[in-house]
A = this chain, B = another copy of it.
């Protein structure tokens, strides 16, 4: 563990996953946007899971369709499920979407003792109990982390942790398309139609966007969340579901005036005598953790009986992030325990370059701002913004926000400022607006 490495990359590579020799063979059901992204990731990084991964076979409607054969070079394509199972997959990935034939094929895979990974929220919403029972009977894993907030792994986590999962209320934004549309309406697009067109242009919304904008996608995900966290079964059509078609730009302007914004929300609370739930656009006050989620971001807040809140946020969908989550699920479905890694030794840590918040104080009057700026600039420090001056505490004080610099340079510049003017300077780092 103390071997020296020339580069950071070399040091990290030495600490990377310890590979097992057993190959993971995926039977891929469906080669649409997500299926193609799964294949791309497998081809690009066949050892990323610490084992060799390959696509053993892929089920498609038309095995001779050129876009499919191009997406899966060297992979046997078939329209016959028997041929897919005959290719001896060790795990089945279902990314067909929709209810049938997805349901039948997943049941068949489970009956054959094959672990299944799916990203299909509709399948889970309508047939989740049947599929989970089938998986339990067969004693094989059924994983569906990508079905809700695809970029944030949490369903598997809480399935393993019954005390953390013992919450009584959840609030989330689980549809990126509608969050994007409402964010756009609020900021740059005059109305729903043009924001939707923009979302479709960027590929965030399907040409048929009705499942998103009418709230059906969101309520299906809510049913999955209610099953897992409330351990209750709810039919999607039993839950109040509204879409975003009627939300106007003026609604968003005045929601802002009232201290919040309008977001596409799912909500469930089972702390009382009944399950209270809805899916639809809602006014979200600015202090609420979901209020900060803009564009295609998704997130969820879980509240326990004592009022403690845990919140998670990240990318909600998209083929590439879904493929990442599906393949991590593949690993979790195939190996029961966490992957092992060890940390390589590194030679050095350096403090980063960052913006700085600088407090300049004087027992008398501060020097002219232009003089301070000139002196700092002569030491390579440039000022981005300055506060008003504060003389309420007996002296004279001002705060500056600088452009990025290393600590040594800001230290030398403020020391020079102190020496030249008699002022004191105190610095703390400043983060960028986005992490």
Contacts and interface: CB of A to CB of B under 8 A. Distances in A.
B151 A308 contact: yes
Nearest to A301: B435
Given A8-B275, A308-B151, A313-B289, A239 B163 contact: no
A171 B269 CA distance: 31
Contact of A163 (B48, B158, B341): B48
Contacts of A1: 129, 133, 233
A110 B353 CA distance: 41
A354 B158 CA distance: 28
A393 interface: yes
A7 B313 CA distance: 33
Interface in A348-397: 348-357, 359, 385, 387-388, 390, 393, 397
A50 B232 CA distance: 18
Contacts of A8: 232, 270, 272-275
Nearest to A400: B258
B289 A435 contact: yes
Nearest to A248: B359
A71 interface: no
Contacts of A315: 308, 310
Contact of A282 (B136, B171, B428): B428
A303 B169 CA distance: 28
Given A171-B435, A254-B390, A387-B258, A280 B12 contact: no
A311 B314 contact: yes
Interface in A333-354: 336-346, 348-354
Contact of A285 (B260, B280, B433): B433
A420 interface: no
A133 B342 contact: yes
Nearest to A361: B250
A188 interface: no
Contacts of A234: 346, 349
Nearest to A294: B287
A278 B352 contact: yes
The A interface, classified by DSSP as helix, strand, loop or mixed, is mixed
Interface string A385-419: 10110100100011101000001000000000000
A157 interface: yes
Of listed A239, A254, A314, residue having the most chain B CB within 10 A: A254
A342 B232 contact: no
A171 to B, nearest CB: 5
A49 interface: yes
Given A314-B309, A387-B258, A399-B251, A15 B343 contact: no
B311 A435 contact: yes
Given A350-B276, A393-B250, A428-B280, A338 B159 contact: yes
B283 A357 contact: yes
Given A171-B435, A288-B435, A349-B274, A258 B160 contact: no
Given A132-B342, A310-B314, A352-B267, A287 B282 contact: no
Interface in A317-347: 321, 324-325, 327-328, 331-332, 336-346
A17 interface: yes
Given A16-B231, A156-B160, 16 more contacts: A12-B231, A17-B162, A136-B340, A163-B327, A250-B397, A254-B399, A258-B385, A274-B349, A275-B348, A276-B350, A278-B352, A283-B431, A284-B430, A288-B435, A310-B315, A311-B314
7 contacts: A8-B273, A156-B160, A161-B331, A239-B351, A258-B399, A287-B434, A288-B432
The 9 closest A-B pairs by CB, nearest first: A283-B430, A276-B352, A301-B435, A310-B314, A161-B328, A254-B399, A240-B351, A15-B231, A283-B357
